A and B are shown apart, each in its own frame.
Chain A
Amino acid sequence: MSRYWWLSVIALALVTTSASVFAIDTDRAFDDDKMQARYQRLIAEVRCITCQNQTIKDSNAPLANDLRAVIREQMKAGATDREIYAFLQQRYGDFALYKPPLSAKTALLWFSPLILMVIGGVAFYRTVAARGKFDVSVDGE
């Protein structure tokens, strides 16, 4: 049962959008271009938690609307990105952020490119060095 309970939330989203509640922001939230760009970036990094796998930027769900409103307000009150993230994290955990902050549990994710590039680099170097020692005019079977 618990697997499907959120369907009711999605159903709500569909019902309310078909009525008169509007969803995606319809006008610029900020007059200032920089603030507007920052706002667009922030809402594209926050997960719409009721949805399947969408940002609050792309979602019509009521919770996404509410969260966008909160972010607008906090930005107007002068909150930094870090403070806004912290606000969401305190309430919804790391799950709310599509770009998880670097921590012990995300270290492997963030360092994965470095680790793999090093492993790949070493393997590449060793293979080329080893093959350089063989006769180039000979083919394998």
Chain B
Amino acid sequence: MVRFLVPLGIFVALAAFFVIGLQKDPTLIPSPLLDQQLPAFSMQSLDDEPVPVDHTALAGRPTLLNVWGSWCYNCRVEHDFLMQLSRNDVIDIYGLNWNDAREDARGWLRQFGNPYVASGHDIDGRVAIDFGVYGAPETFLVDGNGTIVHKHIGPLSPDVWLADFVPRLAALDRAVSQ
């Protein structure tokens, strides 16, 4: 009587999904922008004399685009590591200042240091939407051709950097030298 085994079969299948599901983080949302050309944007920088920051600035070499805000606790958490990257000239970091008042953002950079080549001020949140940003911090790795190679959600740290960024940067280097 196979039909009396059906409920057990369905349950076992469900349980298998639960086991897989428990190993995933339901709050992480993969970006559909991966391996796509980075969206065109233009913002004013946070400098004393604002200058335009746009997608062309990120061309020619691998860069990071880091979404941050002075209100964001985890941006403070990752900040020292960003400073370290910038001091050691590992990679050019651009900022996407999201949901922030200009003066608050500038004060934050003055207080904690500025790791960014330039930080664009996203006044109405449109650039963030074009990038599919849904929280801060988020970090995009963009290659020399302007393709988004990787997106990290949550704060950066040396461990994350070694695991997710270093191998990709090495691959980009190899592709360029070939």
Contact = CB atoms under 8 A, between A and B. Distances in A.
B62 interface: no
A89 interface: yes
A93 interface: yes
A7 B71 CA distance: 12
Given A9-B135, A62-B125, A90 B74 contact: no
A114 interface: no
B contact face: mostly helix, strand, loop, or mixed: loop
A91 B129 contact: yes
Given A1-B74, A2-B25, A93-B132, 10 more contacts: A1-B154, A2-B28, A6-B135, A62-B125, A63-B128, A66-B126, A66-B128, A67-B129, A89-B32, A93-B29
Chain A interface size, under 10 / 10 to 19 / 20 to 34 / 35 or more = 20 to 34
A contact face: mostly helix, strand, loop, or mixed: helix
A50 interface: yes
Contacts of B29: 49, 92-93, 95
A40 B135 CA distance: 25
Contacts of B74: 1, 5, 8
A9 B137 CA distance: 10
21 contacts: A1-B74, A1-B155, A2-B25, A2-B153, A6-B135, A8-B72, A8-B135, A9-B136, A12-B99, A15-B71, A62-B99, A62-B125, A63-B125, A63-B128, A66-B124, A66-B126, A69-B125, A70-B126, A70-B129, A92-B32, A95-B29
Contacts of A89: 32
A110 to B, nearest CB: 19
A126 to B, nearest CB: 11
A5 B131 contact: no
Contacts of B73: 7-8, 11
A82 interface: no
A3 B155 CA distance: 11
Nearest to A15: B71
B27 interface: yes
